[in-house]
Amino acid sequence: MNLAFATLPCPVAPPTLLGPTLVPIGVTIRRAPGEEIFAEGEPVDTVYQVMSGTVRTYRLLGDGRRHVCDFHAPGDLLGLEAVDEYCCSAEGMTDVILHAIPLKALRRLTTEDPLLGQRLLSIATGGMQRSQNHASMLARLGAVERVAAFLVDFARRFDADDELDLPMTRQDIADYLGLTIHTVSRTLSQLQDQGLIDARTSRRVRLRRQDQLLGLCA
Amino acid sequence: MNLAFATLPCPVAPPTLLGPTLVPIGVTIRRAPGEEIFAEGEPVDTVYQVMSGTVRTYRLLGDGRRHVCDFHAPGDLLGLEAVDEYCCSAEGMTDVILHAIPLKALRRLTTEDPLLGQRLLSIATGGMQRSQNHASMLARLGAVERVAAFLVDFARRFDADDELDLPMTRQDIADYLGLTIHTVSRTLSQLQDQGLIDARTSRRVRLRRQDQLLGLCA
DNA sequence: CGTGTGGTTGAAGTGCGTCAAACTGGGTGG
DNA sequence: CCACCCAGTTTGACGCACTTCAACCACACG
Protein backbone atom coordinates (compact mmCIF):
# COMPACT_ATOMS: atom_id res chain seq x y z
CA MET A 1 0.00 0.00 0.00
CA ASN A 2 1.15 3.46 -0.84
CA LEU A 3 1.45 5.20 2.49
CA ALA A 4 2.22 8.56 0.97
CA PHE A 5 -1.23 8.59 -0.55
CA ALA A 6 -2.82 7.15 2.54
CA THR A 7 -1.77 10.17 4.56
CA LEU A 8 -2.97 12.68 2.03
CA PRO A 9 -6.61 13.71 2.17
CA CYS A 10 -6.86 14.13 -1.62
CA PRO A 11 -6.48 10.85 -3.49
CA VAL A 12 -7.09 12.34 -6.93
CA ALA A 13 -4.95 15.14 -8.33
CA PRO A 14 -6.19 16.47 -11.70
CA PRO A 15 -3.65 17.94 -14.13
CA THR A 16 -4.53 21.51 -13.25
CA LEU A 17 -3.14 21.08 -9.76
CA LEU A 18 0.44 20.24 -9.07
CA GLY A 19 -0.06 19.15 -5.49
CA PRO A 20 -2.81 17.67 -3.38
CA THR A 21 -3.87 21.09 -2.13
CA LEU A 22 -3.80 24.41 -3.94
CA VAL A 23 -2.16 26.32 -1.10
CA PRO A 24 -0.76 25.36 2.29
CA ILE A 25 -3.26 27.50 4.17
CA GLY A 26 -6.91 27.10 5.06
CA VAL A 27 -9.00 24.72 7.12
CA THR A 28 -10.66 21.40 6.39
CA ILE A 29 -14.43 21.30 6.58
CA ARG A 30 -17.04 18.60 6.02
CA ARG A 31 -20.48 18.68 4.51
CA ALA A 32 -23.21 16.06 4.42
CA PRO A 33 -25.24 15.21 1.28
CA GLY A 34 -27.53 18.13 0.43
CA GLU A 35 -25.77 20.45 2.85
CA GLU A 36 -24.91 23.93 1.63
CA ILE A 37 -21.32 25.01 1.06
CA PHE A 38 -22.13 28.49 -0.18
CA ALA A 39 -25.16 30.16 -1.71
CA GLU A 40 -25.68 32.27 -4.81
CA GLY A 41 -25.56 35.96 -3.91
CA GLU A 42 -23.54 35.58 -0.73
CA PRO A 43 -20.43 37.74 -0.52
CA VAL A 44 -17.34 35.83 -1.60
CA ASP A 45 -14.91 35.38 1.27
CA THR A 46 -13.74 31.82 0.80
CA VAL A 47 -12.58 29.58 -2.03
CA TYR A 48 -13.00 25.84 -1.64
CA GLN A 49 -11.10 22.92 -3.02
CA VAL A 50 -12.90 19.59 -3.09
CA MET A 51 -10.74 16.99 -1.35
CA SER A 52 -13.13 14.05 -1.44
CA GLY A 53 -16.73 13.43 -2.43
CA THR A 54 -18.81 15.16 -5.08
CA VAL A 55 -20.29 18.65 -5.14
CA ARG A 56 -22.95 20.21 -7.34
CA THR A 57 -23.12 23.90 -8.21
CA TYR A 58 -26.45 25.25 -9.38
CA ARG A 59 -28.61 28.31 -9.89
CA LEU A 60 -32.28 28.89 -9.31
CA LEU A 61 -34.25 30.92 -11.81
CA GLY A 62 -37.04 33.21 -10.73
CA ASP A 63 -39.86 30.69 -11.00
CA GLY A 64 -38.05 27.78 -9.39
CA ARG A 65 -36.45 26.27 -12.48
CA ARG A 66 -33.03 24.97 -11.56
CA HIS A 67 -29.88 24.76 -13.63
CA VAL A 68 -27.03 22.58 -12.43
CA CYS A 69 -23.86 24.34 -13.58
CA ASP A 70 -21.56 21.42 -12.91
CA PHE A 71 -20.63 18.43 -10.83
CA HIS A 72 -17.29 18.78 -9.09
CA ALA A 73 -14.75 16.05 -8.42
CA PRO A 74 -11.89 15.95 -5.91
CA GLY A 75 -9.29 18.52 -6.91
CA ASP A 76 -11.82 20.99 -8.32
CA LEU A 77 -11.87 24.56 -7.07
CA LEU A 78 -15.15 26.26 -6.14
CA GLY A 79 -15.99 29.90 -5.64
CA LEU A 80 -13.43 31.57 -7.85
CA GLU A 81 -15.60 34.48 -8.97
CA ALA A 82 -15.31 37.57 -11.11
CA VAL A 83 -17.53 39.64 -8.86
CA ASP A 84 -17.93 40.02 -5.13
CA GLU A 85 -20.69 37.48 -4.71
CA TYR A 86 -21.04 33.82 -5.59
CA CYS A 87 -22.89 33.44 -8.88
CA CYS A 88 -24.15 29.97 -8.03
CA SER A 89 -24.85 27.84 -5.00
CA ALA A 90 -22.84 24.77 -4.02
CA GLU A 91 -23.82 21.77 -1.94
CA GLY A 92 -22.52 18.30 -1.26
CA MET A 93 -23.96 15.34 -3.11
CA THR A 94 -22.11 12.83 -0.99
CA ASP A 95 -20.25 13.28 2.25
CA VAL A 96 -17.69 15.88 1.24
CA ILE A 97 -14.37 17.02 2.59
CA LEU A 98 -13.32 20.51 1.49
CA HIS A 99 -10.29 22.67 1.90
CA ALA A 100 -11.56 26.17 2.72
CA ILE A 101 -9.18 28.97 1.75
CA PRO A 102 -9.88 32.55 2.86
CA LEU A 103 -9.96 34.75 -0.21
CA LYS A 104 -7.82 37.44 1.35
CA ALA A 105 -5.07 34.98 2.12
CA LEU A 106 -5.28 33.56 -1.38
CA ARG A 107 -4.93 37.05 -2.84
CA ARG A 108 -1.93 37.77 -0.68
CA LEU A 109 -0.25 34.54 -1.66
CA THR A 110 -0.95 35.26 -5.31
CA THR A 111 0.87 38.57 -5.23
CA GLU A 112 3.85 36.87 -3.60
CA ASP A 113 3.90 33.81 -5.83
CA PRO A 114 3.44 34.41 -9.57
CA LEU A 115 3.33 30.67 -10.16
CA LEU A 116 0.17 30.42 -8.06
CA GLY A 117 -1.35 33.16 -10.16
CA GLN A 118 -0.55 31.20 -13.31
CA ARG A 119 -2.19 28.15 -11.81
CA LEU A 120 -5.33 30.07 -10.86
CA LEU A 121 -5.49 31.54 -14.34
CA SER A 122 -5.19 28.10 -15.84
CA ILE A 123 -7.98 26.82 -13.59
CA ALA A 124 -10.18 29.76 -14.52
CA THR A 125 -9.66 29.40 -18.27
CA GLY A 126 -10.22 25.67 -17.91
CA GLY A 127 -13.51 26.40 -16.18
CA MET A 128 -14.45 28.79 -18.93
CA GLN A 129 -13.76 26.20 -21.60
CA ARG A 130 -15.80 23.68 -19.67
CA SER A 131 -18.85 25.98 -19.44
CA GLN A 132 -18.47 26.77 -23.12
CA ASN A 133 -18.59 23.07 -23.89
CA HIS A 134 -21.63 22.83 -21.70
CA ALA A 135 -23.30 25.71 -23.53
CA SER A 136 -22.50 24.23 -26.94
CA MET A 137 -24.06 20.97 -25.86
CA LEU A 138 -27.20 22.66 -24.59
CA ALA A 139 -27.47 24.79 -27.70
CA ARG A 140 -27.17 22.15 -30.36
CA LEU A 141 -27.41 18.57 -29.11
CA GLY A 142 -30.55 16.44 -28.77
CA ALA A 143 -31.50 14.40 -25.72
CA VAL A 144 -29.66 11.22 -26.71
CA GLU A 145 -26.49 13.15 -27.54
CA ARG A 146 -26.66 15.05 -24.26
CA VAL A 147 -27.06 11.95 -22.13
CA ALA A 148 -24.28 10.18 -24.02
CA ALA A 149 -22.01 13.19 -23.61
CA PHE A 150 -22.79 13.30 -19.90
CA LEU A 151 -21.95 9.64 -19.39
CA VAL A 152 -18.68 9.83 -21.30
CA ASP A 153 -17.64 13.04 -19.58
CA PHE A 154 -18.52 11.71 -16.16
CA ALA A 155 -16.53 8.53 -16.80
CA ARG A 156 -13.51 10.58 -17.79
CA ARG A 157 -13.60 13.03 -14.90
CA PHE A 158 -14.69 10.90 -12.02
CA ASP A 159 -14.79 7.23 -11.80
CA ALA A 160 -13.18 4.38 -13.58
CA ASP A 161 -13.19 3.38 -17.22
CA ASP A 162 -16.71 2.11 -17.75
CA GLU A 163 -18.27 1.21 -14.41
CA LEU A 164 -19.98 4.37 -13.17
CA ASP A 165 -21.27 4.96 -9.68
CA LEU A 166 -23.47 8.00 -10.14
CA PRO A 167 -23.70 10.15 -7.01
CA MET A 168 -26.58 12.22 -8.41
CA THR A 169 -30.31 11.75 -8.91
CA ARG A 170 -32.11 11.80 -12.25
CA GLN A 171 -33.28 15.27 -11.35
CA ASP A 172 -29.67 16.42 -11.00
CA ILE A 173 -28.80 14.95 -14.38
CA ALA A 174 -31.89 16.51 -15.95
CA ASP A 175 -31.10 19.94 -14.54
CA TYR A 176 -27.54 19.62 -15.78
CA LEU A 177 -28.59 18.58 -19.29
CA GLY A 178 -31.51 20.98 -19.65
CA LEU A 179 -34.03 18.12 -19.83
CA THR A 180 -36.67 16.56 -17.58
CA ILE A 181 -36.20 13.47 -15.44
CA HIS A 182 -38.64 11.70 -17.75
CA THR A 183 -36.57 12.33 -20.84
CA VAL A 184 -33.36 11.38 -19.03
CA SER A 185 -34.92 8.15 -17.82
CA ARG A 186 -36.38 7.29 -21.23
CA THR A 187 -33.10 8.06 -22.95
CA LEU A 188 -31.14 5.84 -20.58
CA SER A 189 -33.64 3.05 -21.21
CA GLN A 190 -33.19 3.60 -24.94
CA LEU A 191 -29.39 3.38 -24.67
CA GLN A 192 -29.87 0.24 -22.61
CA ASP A 193 -32.13 -1.28 -25.28
CA GLN A 194 -29.51 -0.48 -27.89
CA GLY A 195 -26.90 -2.28 -25.81
CA LEU A 196 -24.70 0.79 -25.35
CA ILE A 197 -25.03 0.83 -21.58
CA ASP A 198 -25.96 -1.58 -18.84
CA ALA A 199 -27.95 0.04 -16.03
CA ARG A 200 -27.58 -2.42 -13.20
CA THR A 201 -29.36 -0.13 -10.77
CA SER A 202 -30.43 3.46 -11.26
CA ARG A 203 -27.18 4.68 -9.70
CA ARG A 204 -24.90 2.08 -11.23
CA VAL A 205 -24.26 2.18 -14.97
CA ARG A 206 -21.79 0.28 -17.08
CA LEU A 207 -20.68 1.75 -20.39
CA ARG A 208 -20.65 -1.20 -22.78
CA ARG A 209 -19.84 0.64 -26.02
CA GLN A 210 -17.98 3.78 -25.03
CA ASP A 211 -16.84 4.29 -28.64
CA GLN A 212 -20.41 4.43 -29.87
CA LEU A 213 -21.44 6.69 -27.01
CA LEU A 214 -18.58 9.00 -27.93
CA GLY A 215 -19.77 8.96 -31.53
CA LEU A 216 -23.17 10.17 -30.36
CA CYS A 217 -21.69 13.32 -28.81
CA ALA A 218 -21.34 14.94 -32.27
CA MET B 1 -29.85 36.46 -14.61
CA ASN B 2 -26.58 38.23 -13.93
CA LEU B 3 -25.41 39.75 -17.15
CA ALA B 4 -22.29 41.38 -15.80
CA PHE B 5 -19.09 40.79 -17.66
CA ALA B 6 -15.62 41.98 -16.88
CA THR B 7 -14.27 43.97 -19.77
CA LEU B 8 -11.28 46.18 -19.87
CA PRO B 9 -11.70 49.93 -19.89
CA CYS B 10 -11.61 50.34 -23.65
CA PRO B 11 -14.37 52.68 -24.79
CA VAL B 12 -15.61 52.64 -28.34
CA ALA B 13 -13.36 55.06 -30.16
CA PRO B 14 -12.66 56.10 -33.74
CA PRO B 15 -9.87 54.05 -35.36
CA THR B 16 -7.49 56.97 -35.16
CA LEU B 17 -7.80 57.24 -31.40
CA LEU B 18 -8.04 53.83 -29.80
CA GLY B 19 -8.54 53.27 -26.12
CA PRO B 20 -6.10 51.78 -23.61
CA THR B 21 -4.70 48.37 -24.38
CA LEU B 22 -4.13 45.52 -22.00
CA VAL B 23 -0.36 45.67 -22.37
CA PRO B 24 2.01 48.09 -24.09
CA ILE B 25 3.26 45.43 -26.49
CA GLY B 26 1.86 43.82 -29.59
CA VAL B 27 0.79 44.95 -33.02
CA THR B 28 -2.43 46.32 -34.44
CA ILE B 29 -4.19 44.24 -37.10
CA ARG B 30 -7.36 44.66 -39.11
CA ARG B 31 -9.95 42.17 -40.27
CA ALA B 32 -12.84 42.53 -42.68
CA PRO B 33 -16.35 41.17 -42.01
CA GLY B 34 -16.28 37.37 -42.18
CA GLU B 35 -12.51 37.27 -42.13
CA GLU B 36 -10.86 34.78 -39.80
CA ILE B 37 -8.88 35.92 -36.76
CA PHE B 38 -8.02 32.45 -35.49
CA ALA B 39 -9.48 28.99 -35.95
CA GLU B 40 -10.52 26.25 -33.57
CA GLY B 41 -7.72 23.74 -33.17
CA GLU B 42 -4.87 26.05 -34.18
CA PRO B 43 -2.00 26.28 -31.71
CA VAL B 44 -2.36 29.29 -29.43
CA ASP B 45 0.42 31.81 -29.96
CA THR B 46 -1.45 35.10 -29.76
CA VAL B 47 -4.19 36.66 -27.70
CA TYR B 48 -6.22 39.50 -29.15
CA GLN B 49 -7.91 42.50 -27.67
CA VAL B 50 -10.77 43.95 -29.68
CA MET B 51 -10.15 47.66 -30.19
CA SER B 52 -13.07 48.48 -32.47
CA GLY B 53 -15.79 46.57 -34.28
CA THR B 54 -17.48 43.32 -33.31
CA VAL B 55 -16.17 39.77 -33.31
CA ARG B 56 -17.96 36.44 -33.08
CA THR B 57 -16.47 33.28 -31.63
CA TYR B 58 -18.01 29.99 -32.64
CA ARG B 59 -17.59 26.24 -32.89
CA LEU B 60 -18.60 23.80 -35.56
CA LEU B 61 -20.00 20.42 -34.57
CA GLY B 62 -19.26 17.32 -36.59
CA ASP B 63 -22.24 17.52 -38.91
CA GLY B 64 -22.05 21.24 -39.60
CA ARG B 65 -24.20 22.52 -36.76
CA ARG B 66 -22.74 25.77 -35.49
CA HIS B 67 -22.74 27.24 -32.00
CA VAL B 68 -21.85 30.90 -31.56
CA CYS B 69 -20.07 31.10 -28.21
CA ASP B 70 -20.24 34.87 -27.94
CA PHE B 71 -20.20 38.25 -29.59
CA HIS B 72 -17.28 40.40 -28.55
CA ALA B 73 -17.25 44.15 -28.07
CA PRO B 74 -14.31 46.56 -27.98
CA GLY B 75 -12.24 45.87 -24.87
CA ASP B 76 -12.87 42.13 -24.89
CA LEU B 77 -9.99 39.70 -24.89
CA LEU B 78 -9.94 36.72 -27.27
CA GLY B 79 -7.86 33.56 -27.24
CA LEU B 80 -7.12 33.22 -23.53
CA GLU B 81 -7.17 29.43 -23.42
CA ALA B 82 -6.59 26.68 -20.91
CA VAL B 83 -4.94 24.38 -23.42
CA ASP B 84 -2.47 24.83 -26.22
CA GLU B 85 -5.02 25.23 -29.00
CA TYR B 86 -7.92 27.59 -29.56
CA CYS B 87 -11.17 25.95 -28.54
CA CYS B 88 -13.26 28.08 -30.86
CA SER B 89 -12.86 30.10 -34.03
CA ALA B 90 -13.06 33.88 -34.20
CA GLU B 91 -13.93 36.15 -37.09
CA GLY B 92 -14.91 39.74 -37.62
CA MET B 93 -18.54 40.67 -38.03
CA THR B 94 -17.74 44.25 -38.96
CA ASP B 95 -14.47 45.81 -39.91
CA VAL B 96 -12.39 45.07 -36.85
CA ILE B 97 -9.25 46.50 -35.34
CA LEU B 98 -7.43 44.18 -32.97
CA HIS B 99 -4.44 44.41 -30.72
CA ALA B 100 -2.45 41.19 -31.22
CA ILE B 101 -0.33 40.20 -28.24
CA PRO B 102 2.18 37.33 -28.53
CA LEU B 103 1.41 34.80 -25.83
CA LYS B 104 5.05 34.41 -24.84
CA ALA B 105 5.41 38.12 -24.22
CA LEU B 106 2.17 38.17 -22.24
CA ARG B 107 3.41 35.32 -20.07
CA ARG B 108 6.69 37.11 -19.45
CA LEU B 109 4.94 40.32 -18.52
CA THR B 110 2.64 38.43 -16.19
CA THR B 111 5.50 37.00 -14.18
CA GLU B 112 6.95 40.49 -13.83
CA ASP B 113 3.71 42.27 -13.04
CA PRO B 114 1.41 40.55 -10.53
CA LEU B 115 -1.25 43.20 -11.18
CA LEU B 116 -1.51 42.06 -14.79
CA GLY B 117 -1.99 38.52 -13.58
CA GLN B 118 -4.83 39.67 -11.34
CA ARG B 119 -6.40 41.39 -14.29
CA LEU B 120 -6.15 38.34 -16.51
CA LEU B 121 -7.63 36.20 -13.76
CA SER B 122 -10.51 38.63 -13.43
CA ILE B 123 -11.09 38.50 -17.18
CA ALA B 124 -11.02 34.71 -17.16
CA THR B 125 -13.43 34.34 -14.25
CA GLY B 126 -15.66 36.95 -15.88
CA GLY B 127 -15.65 34.92 -19.07
CA MET B 128 -16.51 31.81 -17.11
CA GLN B 129 -19.43 33.51 -15.45
CA ARG B 130 -20.62 34.73 -18.80
CA SER B 131 -20.56 31.27 -20.35
CA GLN B 132 -22.34 29.92 -17.29
CA ASN B 133 -25.06 32.50 -17.80
CA HIS B 134 -25.23 31.46 -21.41
CA ALA B 135 -25.52 27.80 -20.44
CA SER B 136 -28.25 28.53 -17.89
CA MET B 137 -30.19 30.39 -20.54
CA LEU B 138 -29.87 27.57 -23.06
CA ALA B 139 -30.78 24.97 -20.46
CA ARG B 140 -33.93 26.47 -19.07
CA LEU B 141 -35.33 29.41 -21.05
CA GLY B 142 -37.86 29.29 -23.88
CA ALA B 143 -37.50 31.08 -27.20
CA VAL B 144 -39.13 34.36 -26.14
CA GLU B 145 -37.04 34.50 -22.97
CA ARG B 146 -33.86 33.80 -24.91
CA VAL B 147 -34.46 36.49 -27.48
CA ALA B 148 -35.41 38.99 -24.80
CA ALA B 149 -32.27 38.12 -22.81
CA PHE B 150 -30.17 38.53 -25.92
CA LEU B 151 -31.57 41.98 -26.69
CA VAL B 152 -31.16 43.26 -23.15
CA ASP B 153 -27.65 41.84 -22.84
CA PHE B 154 -26.61 43.25 -26.19
CA ALA B 155 -27.94 46.67 -25.26
CA ARG B 156 -25.88 46.60 -22.05
CA ARG B 157 -22.64 45.49 -23.56
CA PHE B 158 -22.56 47.21 -26.89
CA ASP B 159 -24.67 50.01 -28.04
CA ALA B 160 -26.70 52.68 -26.44
CA ASP B 161 -29.67 52.49 -24.11
CA ASP B 162 -32.42 51.25 -26.37
CA GLU B 163 -31.50 51.88 -30.00
CA LEU B 164 -29.66 48.78 -31.17
CA ASP B 165 -27.63 48.48 -34.33
CA LEU B 166 -27.19 44.73 -34.67
CA PRO B 167 -24.00 43.75 -36.47
CA MET B 168 -25.08 40.11 -36.83
CA THR B 169 -27.45 38.16 -39.03
CA ARG B 170 -30.47 36.20 -37.85
CA GLN B 171 -28.39 33.08 -38.34
CA ASP B 172 -25.77 34.42 -35.92
CA ILE B 173 -28.44 35.16 -33.33
CA ALA B 174 -30.03 31.75 -33.84
CA ASP B 175 -26.70 29.95 -33.43
CA TYR B 176 -26.03 31.99 -30.30
CA LEU B 177 -29.43 31.24 -28.78
CA GLY B 178 -29.66 27.60 -29.82
CA LEU B 179 -32.66 28.24 -32.06
CA THR B 180 -33.36 28.45 -35.81
CA ILE B 181 -33.54 31.66 -37.81
CA HIS B 182 -37.27 31.02 -38.24
CA THR B 183 -37.92 30.93 -34.52
CA VAL B 184 -35.77 34.02 -33.96
CA SER B 185 -37.61 35.90 -36.69
CA ARG B 186 -41.03 34.82 -35.47
CA THR B 187 -40.15 35.70 -31.88
CA LEU B 188 -38.97 39.17 -32.86
CA SER B 189 -42.21 39.68 -34.77
CA GLN B 190 -44.12 38.58 -31.71
CA LEU B 191 -42.26 41.03 -29.45
CA GLN B 192 -42.97 43.69 -32.05
CA ASP B 193 -46.69 42.87 -32.03
CA GLN B 194 -46.69 43.10 -28.24
CA GLY B 195 -45.14 46.55 -28.48
CA LEU B 196 -41.98 45.60 -26.56
CA ILE B 197 -39.64 46.36 -29.44
CA ASP B 198 -39.70 48.37 -32.62
CA ALA B 199 -37.87 46.69 -35.51
CA ARG B 200 -37.28 49.55 -37.91
CA THR B 201 -35.20 47.36 -40.20
CA SER B 202 -33.93 43.84 -39.60
CA ARG B 203 -30.65 45.21 -38.25
CA ARG B 204 -32.08 48.17 -36.36
CA VAL B 205 -34.15 47.48 -33.27
CA ARG B 206 -35.47 49.84 -30.65
CA LEU B 207 -36.24 48.50 -27.19
CA ARG B 208 -39.51 50.15 -26.25
CA ARG B 209 -40.16 48.39 -22.95
CA GLN B 210 -36.81 47.33 -21.61
CA ASP B 211 -38.31 46.67 -18.18
CA GLN B 212 -40.75 44.14 -19.60
CA LEU B 213 -38.04 42.56 -21.71
CA LEU B 214 -35.93 42.21 -18.58
CA GLY B 215 -38.86 40.61 -16.82
CA LEU B 216 -38.99 37.98 -19.56
CA CYS B 217 -35.41 36.87 -18.87
CA ALA B 218 -36.58 34.90 -15.78
C1' DC C 1 -34.02 44.31 -64.90
C1' DG C 2 -32.25 39.93 -63.31
C1' DT C 3 -29.85 37.78 -59.56
C1' DG C 4 -28.47 36.75 -55.00
C1' DT C 5 -28.48 37.07 -50.07
C1' DG C 6 -30.94 37.60 -45.99
C1' DG C 7 -35.47 37.86 -43.82
C1' DT C 8 -40.36 36.80 -42.99
C1' DT C 9 -44.31 33.93 -42.77
C1' DG C 10 -47.33 29.79 -43.27
C1' DA C 11 -48.27 24.71 -42.79
C1' DA C 12 -46.94 20.38 -41.33
C1' DG C 13 -43.90 17.38 -38.56
C1' DT C 14 -41.52 15.89 -34.33
C1' DG C 15 -38.93 15.71 -30.09
C1' DC C 16 -39.34 16.76 -25.70
C1' DG C 17 -42.46 18.35 -21.87
C1' DT C 18 -46.60 17.55 -19.18
C1' DC C 19 -49.79 14.79 -16.88
C1' DA C 20 -50.74 10.58 -14.82
C1' DA C 21 -49.94 6.08 -13.07
C1' DA C 22 -47.30 2.17 -11.76
C1' DC C 23 -43.00 0.35 -10.07
C1' DT C 24 -38.68 -0.28 -7.16
C1' DG C 25 -35.65 -0.44 -3.36
C1' DG C 26 -34.39 0.99 1.07
C1' DG C 27 -35.86 2.19 5.63
C1' DT C 28 -38.97 1.77 9.60
C1' DG C 29 -41.97 -0.04 12.76
C1' DG C 30 -45.13 -3.60 14.26
C1' DC D 1 -39.75 -11.29 9.24
C1' DC D 2 -43.16 -8.99 7.01
C1' DA D 3 -46.12 -4.88 6.11
C1' DC D 4 -45.92 -0.51 5.04
C1' DC D 5 -44.19 3.78 3.47
C1' DC D 6 -41.88 6.98 0.67
C1' DA D 7 -38.65 9.16 -2.33
C1' DG D 8 -36.90 8.24 -6.57
C1' DT D 9 -37.57 6.13 -10.96
C1' DT D 10 -39.81 4.27 -14.99
C1' DT D 11 -43.26 4.16 -18.44
C1' DG D 12 -47.39 5.47 -21.21
C1' DA D 13 -50.56 8.87 -23.46
C1' DC D 14 -51.04 13.25 -25.05
C1' DG D 15 -49.94 18.22 -26.02
C1' DC D 16 -47.15 21.84 -27.42
C1' DA D 17 -43.03 24.55 -28.71
C1' DC D 18 -39.84 24.57 -31.78
C1' DT D 19 -38.04 22.61 -36.22
C1' DT D 20 -38.59 21.49 -40.92
C1' DC D 21 -40.18 22.34 -45.36
C1' DA D 22 -41.69 25.58 -48.52
C1' DA D 23 -42.97 29.81 -50.42
C1' DC D 24 -42.65 34.57 -50.75
C1' DC D 25 -40.62 39.18 -49.80
C1' DA D 26 -37.05 43.08 -49.42
C1' DC D 27 -33.19 45.09 -50.65
C1' DA D 28 -28.49 45.49 -52.71
C1' DC D 29 -25.71 45.01 -56.63
C1' DG D 30 -24.16 44.26 -61.39
Strands B55-60, B89-92: pairing kind: antiparallel
pLDDT above 70: residue A197: yes
Q: b vs e for B115-128, b when ≥16 Cβ sit within 10 Å of the residue's Cβ?
A: ebbbbbbbbbbbbb
Residues of chain B in contact with residue A67, where contact means CB-CB under 8 angstroms, are 135-136, 139-140
Q: What is the pTM of this model?
A: 0.91
Instruction: Write down the pLDDT at residue A114.
Output: 85
Average pLDDT of chain B to the nearest whole number: 91
Q: Which residue ranges in chain B fall short of pLDDT 70?
A: 1-19, 159
Instruction: Write down the pLDDT at residue B176.
Output: 98
Instruction: Write down the pLDDT at residue A14.
Output: 42
pLDDT above 50: residue A9: no
Instruction: Write down the pLDDT at residue A112.
Output: 87
Provide the pLDDT confidence category of residue A8 given band limits of 50, 70 and 90: very low
Distance CA(A7)–CA(A14), nearest Å, equals: 18
Instruction: Write down the pLDDT at residue A62.
Output: 87
Q: Which amino acid is at A79?
A: G
Instruction: Write down the pLDDT at residue A160.
Output: 73
A128 vs chain B: nearest CA distance in angstroms? 4
Residues of chain B in contact with residue A138, where contact means CB-CB under 8 angstroms, are 135, 138-139, 178
Q: How far apart are the first and last CA of chain A?
A: 41
**What residue of A is the nearest CA neighbor of B114?**
A111
Q: Report the greatest alpha carbon distance in chain A.
A: 57
Domains and CATH numbers, chain A: 3-138 (2.60.120.10), 141-216 (1.10.10.10)
Across the range A77-92, mean pLDDT stands at 96
How long, in residues, is chain A? 218
CB contact under 8 A, A65 and B118: no
Across the range A149-177, mean pLDDT stands at 94
